[in-house]
Structure 1
Amino acid sequence: MTAPPPSPGASSGQGTPRTCYRHTDRETGVGCTRCGRPICPDCMVEAAVGFQCPACVAEGNRRVRSARTTFGGKVVDKPYVTWSILVMMVVGFVLQLGTSTPLGQALSTPLVQHFSMWGQGVVWHGEWYRLITAAFLHGGVLHLLFNGYAMYALGPQLERWLGHGRFLALWFLGALSGSVLSLIATPNQPSVGASGAIFALFGAVFVIGRRLRLDIRMLLVLLALNLGITFLVPGISWTAHIGGLVGGLLIGAVLAYLPSSSVKEGRRTLVHTLLLAAFGVLLFTLVVLAPRLWILIYG
């Protein structure tokens, strides 16, 4: 049997000081408790017993499973996605006010003209970006405050339940769902606001709350009030609200119930990714078919 080669940086001479395997100019008398290679103070990583080298620490970290939420997302310390979207909503509104004529009129601005949700602008001129950009524009201070507060109240908890990626997909597809229904049902009515995404959050909280057996009676009261305002107050895009709500209910059901909790995390993530992608494809297919749907609806 042949002897194993000496560790890098170690001397084969008996009594000769060993040198760090990463810094061969530094002598050391300490070895990694896992692999035995000599390590200098700069390479020592404190372990439960003794010290380990950076390579062994990195290898150990790769084998440790990251903590996951009940619904398969990575555990979230801070809801960065929620705060980022809130900041973008505020920045969008400030830009509206700063570019309006006269100054301070949120709807009298080129931003609304070029980035609001407007069916004919999306389909006939290929301006698909309006499906999402409209969510970062608002009709006034009260409109922004309502959507911003709802985002602040619902977003952080949902993001902690779902993780960053799934929550962002929920918000994005919720906003898209509201825009698509607006495109089909009211193609000639421009609209702005994040209401589609906000109602998607309402729908997802309802489904996930039922899944976790939480008391959601207060949520139902808030949802009923908001739906009442949607249909009783003139000037509100009911299509964005209903489209977002339906999208949130469907996405919430996918994330909360599919697949079963016994499935491995990697496979669950794959299932969620494929189903959410399929829903996105369905929405874009409806956008493409919108002109034909207009003919069926309006003759």
Structure 2
Amino acid sequence: MGALQWDMVVRGHQGWRLITCIWLHGGLIHLSLNILSLLVIGIPLERKFGFVRIGVLYLVSGVGGSVLSALFLGRYMSMGASGAMFGLLGAMLSELLVNWTIYNNKVVVLLLLVLLIVPNFVLGIIPHLHVDNFGHLGGFLTGFLLGFVVLLRPRFGWQERHQLPEHLRVKSKYLPYQLVLFVTALALLIAG
């Protein structure tokens, strides 16, 4: 019914399953956990960056999770939005790194991300839970790289540069490390 199965994607030429599996869930608890995660993670990101950026990030991360899952879980079926959710977490981490100078509570934000990410990966190790850690990892890596590209913000003072005295004006829109991370992530996404 649209779940991710390697043989259906490869032998059955049903590539659409890489996308449709993102919107399927394995029960009410699975659906509830993904909705809760989306409320906690997705809404704040959408408020900060807009629905287009976060929508693209969510969809591409979900497909990235599906691809890695299909590559490593060949005979198993997979479904759920966890890859896309982990993509949002990866994007949050890359956004923290690329906009490091903007945050006042860097350690608190980093600790919050670790507390969200690590337990979910640990749950994937427990065999009888049937959690697709490859989908999580693929979504996280895709979101992490894509976050450097789509969540880049101008440096502090760029918006107000015309209102500041000449000696305090910011000359470039982005810091050098932001540009390096942007170009590196874009190259990895294209190569991947």
TM-score, structure 1 normalization: 0.49
- Residue 152 to residue 203, structure 1, CA distance change in 2 (3 Å): same
**Residue 14 of structure 2 corresponds to which residue in structure 1?**
127
AA at the equivalent of 1:117: L
**Residue 114 of structure 2 corresponds to which residue in structure 1?**
220
AA at the equivalent of 1:152: L
Distance in 2 between residues matched to 1:151 and 1:248, nearest whole Å: 15
Distance in 2 between residues matched to 1:152 and 1:159, nearest whole Å: 10
Q: Deviations over 1:117-170 (max 9, x none)?
A: 111111111111100100111111111111110011111111122222211110
**Residue 254 of structure 1 corresponds to which residue in structure 2?**
149
- Residue 187 to residue 160, structure 1, CA distance change in 2 (3 Å): same
> 4+ residue stretches of structure 1 with deviation over 3 A?
256-264
* Aligned-pair identity (%): 30
**Residue 134 of structure 2 corresponds to which residue in structure 1?**
239
Q: 3-state SS of the aligned residue for 1:193?
A: coil
Unmatched runs of 5 consecutive residues or more in structure 1: 1-110, 265-271, 284-299
State how 1:111-126 maps to structure 2 within 5 Å: 111=1, 115-126=2-13
Distance in 1 between residues matched to 2:154 and 2:3, nearest whole Å: 37
Does structure 1 retain, via aligned residues, the 8 Å contact 2:49–2:151? no
Q: Deviations over 1:214-257 (max 9, x none)?
A: 43112211211111112225311111011011111111122345
Q: 3-state SS of the aligned residue for 2:29?
A: helix
TM-score, structure 2 normalization: 0.73
Deviation at 1:191, TM superposition (A): 0.7
Q: 3-state SS of the aligned residue for 2:4?
A: coil
Unmatched runs of 5 consecutive residues or more in structure 2: 159-171, 175-181
State the Cα RMSD in Å.
Answer: 2.6
Tell me which of the two structures has the higher relative contact order, counting C-alpha pairs closer than 8 angstroms and 6 or more residues apart.
Answer: 2
The one of 67, 78, 102 equivalent to 1:191 is: 78
Q: Deviations over 1:73-130 (max 9, x none)?
A: xxxxxxxxxxxxxxxxxxxxxxxxxxxxxxxxxxxxxx3xxx0011111111111110
**Residue 30 of structure 2 corresponds to which residue in structure 1?**
143
Q: Deviations over 1:158-198 (max 9, x none)?
A: 11222222111100111011110011111221111001001
Distance in 2 between residues matched to 1:203 and 1:219, nearest whole Å: 9
